[in-house]
Amino acid sequence: MFRINRLRLEIKTKEQESSKDIFGFDIPFEHGLNIVAGHNSKGKTTINSCIYYSLGMEELLGGQNEKALDKAVKSEFNIYEKASGKVVKSYSVFTSKVLVEISNTKGEIVTVRRYINPGQDDAEGRELAKTVTVYNDEYSAISSNTRTRTLYIRGANNNDNDFGFYSWFAEFIGVDLPIVSNSSKKDGYSPLYLQAIFPSLFIEQTKGWSDFFATTPYFGIPKTKEKVVEFLLNLNELNTSTEKDKIGRTKRDLEIRWKFIYNKLELLSAEYDGLLKDVPENITKDKDVLKTTNLFIKDKAGDLPLPINQLIETKEKSLQLLRQKPLVRVGDNKEEARISFENTNKEYDSFLKKFKSFDQNFGIQKEQLVALQKHQKDVVKELSSQKGIQKVFDQAIIKEDVYSKCPTCTQHISVDLMSSENIKIEKLSLQENIAYLDGQRKLIQSSIDSLEKVIKEKETVRKYYVRQQRELEDEIKILLKELVADDREFSESDTLIRVRLEKSISEFQYLYKRFKEDLKALEELAGSYYELLKDEDKLNKSHLEDKLKLNEFEKAYKLYLENFKYSSNPIWNISIQDDDPFKYFPVFKFRKDDAQPQSIRVNSSASDFVRNIWAYSISLLQKGENHPGLVLFDEPGQHRTDSASLKALFEECAAIRDKQIIIFTSVDKNLGDDDKIDLTDLLKDLKREEDYYIYELDEVGKSIKFIETN
């Protein structure tokens, strides 16, 4: 765990006369409840965003690096006169930096310095902008003897590199980041980044009250919010979910390998016009189903297919019988040769018709593939153009207010070429065009994939046809030659039968060997799949301890919900879901046995949903074994939340002495129905510097002002 002890913004201006003239703010924080209070537009957001920035969490504000911060800390700010409230002077920022002093449960205190505006655009300035400096001491004690460490906060691997800020920060606050699945990483895994955890701690004003962990950035981690809850509550499911993910990946790999071998067998069968028997198309855990698997092959057209091993045995017996017979003379085989010649010619004519029809269809499908590929290129080109136009508009390179006027006469020109009273054509927006074209691209790609698969299969079948044609033509040539040969010569057709039989046996033996190898590979995959399913079943049985923790978390959450005066639904109909959908988050059921729970978000008023976020966040703080120990609420009085509920929030937060809660609140905000935030009333039952600590902004001016140097 950790806490913030001090936050200091230091700005040097271009107009300053002395190096000791420092502007900014210097705010102390303590254990327990800390309140930063002030009127609207007085600089609370500036202070809040500096906390985010100093801890490397500005991405949760919707921007990266210094872009997430207000111009007052980057480029210019005003100083106001207290009496009149008028601007005394405007200053241009020369350099600015934020320093945050933090401590951990080991008693270690460090000060982290991060530049906002380094004041120079050279190599040294760029280096300062992408690093932070950690001083191994509290801010007031920093001297030339203080040990320092420079860490990278911009660039790759700053989460898991020894010189990365987030890696150091996690170690300092005592957070052992678990390894989780990550689709954006080559190996498929990464730490559960701190930037994914902190949206459960820091609830910012603009987006933070719209959903649980609403500002969670996407880093390729699936079900990020679920994993964050599992980590904070130290649930076994976090480890088992990673193991399940590994099992899931292995399952998918086994399924792909099974499908690959299945397709190999299909092509092998098609190459010989064969038939596969009892081969499951999808992977099975029962390898016994493969015991009856076999490959059936026809010896000749019109024959019944036989199991390949039986066909080889039959051919070997036939060859053995032929070898026992003496060689035949042409004269002894003339009539058989004539009949064979006629039959083979008929078979050849029938075969050619079938082959020609096959080739015609095959040619048409290849032409279709070429046409689809050309169409796809056109669609991809158009899609790229549309995205380019979108980028131009997004970056405001084209400004309608500039280009809607003629540069010569300044007369108005419509940017819509089809705008006319007489033309009524429904037009798609850029986003609609891009979505439509992307849909077309995916549809065409799906058709191409299917057609390529068919063509690949037919190329294999065509090899069979070509081989058959060659064999029939060779047989016709030999028979024709034999019909006109001298009767005393030895019969070539008889020799041809023997040679072909030997070649056929050798070919089918090789085919059988390939078939058995693939079948053995399927059996091994089925065995691996069976073991994998057993491991998965073991993981599914490790829920009891997690269930107890979730029950304790739910009790705390519902108690806070009641104290915060939640009223949209009976609290006994609300629970923390332990399974999909809405896993680990509050749901509502009309009846306990309802099959489908409903999200608490859609079943609560806007103000009651804000109360939900209060209750949920504080319960995580209290019950989270791995919680960093800090919660920050920016303007919790959202969506007409009444002052009575806010008073309860402040009192419940004040009761938590061993953690740190920071609340940024307005002092003049109307809550509706003659109800408004009265900070004095909200805190009247609490004792200052015992139950809470408060930093109040001046009624005149902003948070940035002249400050003392250290």
Q: What is the mean pLDDT of residues 287-302?
A: 81
pLDDT above 70 covers a percentage of the chain that reads 88
Which of 242-256, 334-348, 530-544 has the highest mean predicted lDDT (pLDDT)?
A: 242-256
Question: pLDDT confidence of 397, banded at 50, 70, 90?
Answer: very low
CATH architecture observed for domain 2-234+624-707: 3-Layer(aba) Sandwich (3.40)
Question: Would you state the pLDDT for residue 154?
Answer: 76
C-alpha–C-alpha distance, residues 459 and 462, integer Å = 5
Secondary structure of residue 326 in the 3-state scheme: coil
Return the closest-CA partner of residue 230 out of 688, 627, 638, 566.
627
Q: What are phi and psi of 311, to 5 degrees?
A: -65, -40
Q: What is the mean pLDDT of residues 151-156?
A: 80
Tell me, letter by letter, the H, E, C secondary structure of 377-440. Answer: HHHHHHHHHHHHHHHHHHCCCCCHHHHCECCCCCCECCCCCCCECCECCCCCCHHHHHHHHHHH
Q: What is the mean pLDDT of residues 187-191?
A: 86
Question: Would you state the pLDDT for residue 415?
Answer: 46
C-alpha–C-alpha distance, residues 241 and 243, integer Å = 5
Return the closest-CA partner of residue 49 out of 32, 37, 67.
67
Q: What is the pLDDT of residues 610-628, one digit of tens each?
A: 999 999 999 999 999 999 9
Question: pLDDT confidence of 401, banded at 50, 70, 90?
Answer: very low
The whole-angstrom distance between residue 148's C-alpha and the CA centroid of its chain comes to 37
Question: pLDDT confidence of 170, banded at 50, 70, 90?
Answer: very high
Question: Would you state the pLDDT for residue 405?
Answer: 54
- Please, what is the average pLDDT of the chain? 85
Q: What is the pLDDT of residues 370-386, one digit of tens each?
A: 998 899 899 888 888 88
User: What residues contact 662, with CB distance under 8 A and at least 6 apart?
Assistant: 4, 29, 34, 35, 36, 51, 630, 631, 632, 633
**587 in Cβ contact with 599 (< 8 Å):** yes
Q: What is the pLDDT of residues 71-81, one digit of tens each?
A: 999 999 998 88
Question: pLDDT confidence of 103, banded at 50, 70, 90?
Answer: very high
Which of 259-273, 305-319, 392-406, 626-640 has the highest mean predicted lDDT (pLDDT)?
A: 626-640
- 332: pLDDT strictly greater than 70: no
Question: Would you state the pLDDT for residue 432?
Answer: 73
CA atoms within 13 A on the CB side of 502: 8
CA atoms within 13 A on the CB side of 29: 29
Q: What is the pLDDT of residues 425-480, one digit of tens each?
A: 455 567 778 878 888 888 888 888 878 877 887 787 788 778 778 877 877 777 67
Question: Would you state the pLDDT for residue 476?
Answer: 78
Q: What is the mean pLDDT of residues 511-516?
A: 89
DSSP character at residue 148: E
Cα 121 to Cα 70, 127, 128, 557, distances in angstroms: 20, 10, 10, 50
- Which tokens is 288 given? 């016994």
C-alpha–C-alpha distance, residues 662 and 529, integer Å = 51
- Exposure string of 328-365, with b = 16+ CB inside 10 Å and e = fewer, is bbbeebeeebeebbeebeebbeebeeebeeeeeebeee
User: What residues contact 381, with CB distance under 8 A and at least 6 apart?
Assistant: none
- 180: pLDDT strictly greater than 60: yes
Question: Would you state the pLDDT for residue 396?
Answer: 46
C-alpha–C-alpha distance, residues 89 and 705, integer Å = 11
Q: What is the mean pLDDT of residues 484-508?
A: 70
Least confident segment among 75-89, 121-135, 299-313: 299-313
Question: pLDDT confidence of 84, banded at 50, 70, 90?
Answer: confident
- 270: pLDDT strictly greater than 90: no
Is the C-alpha dihedral spanning 468, 470, 474, 479 positive or negative? positive
Length of the chain: 710
Q: What is the pTM of this model?
A: 0.67
**56 in Cβ contact with 677 (< 8 Å):** no
DSSP character at residue 301: T
Q: What is the pLDDT of residues 545-584, one digit of tens each?
A: 889 999 999 999 999 999 999 999 999 999 999 888 899 9
The whole-angstrom distance between residue 203's C-alpha and the CA centroid of its chain comes to 23
What are the beta bridge partners of residue 307?
Answer: 296
- 402: pLDDT strictly greater than 50: no
Question: Would you state the pLDDT for residue 268?
Answer: 78
Q: Is the peptide bond before 581 cis (omega within 30 degrees of 0)?
A: yes
Q: What is the mean pLDDT of residues 7-23?
A: 87
C-alpha–C-alpha distance, residues 187 and 164, integer Å = 20
Return the closest-CA partner of residue 231 out of 205, 196, 186.
196
- Which tokens is 292 given? 């009856």
DSSP character at residue 71: G
Query: What's the one-letter identity of residue 28?
Result: P
Question: Would you state the pLDDT for residue 421?
Answer: 46
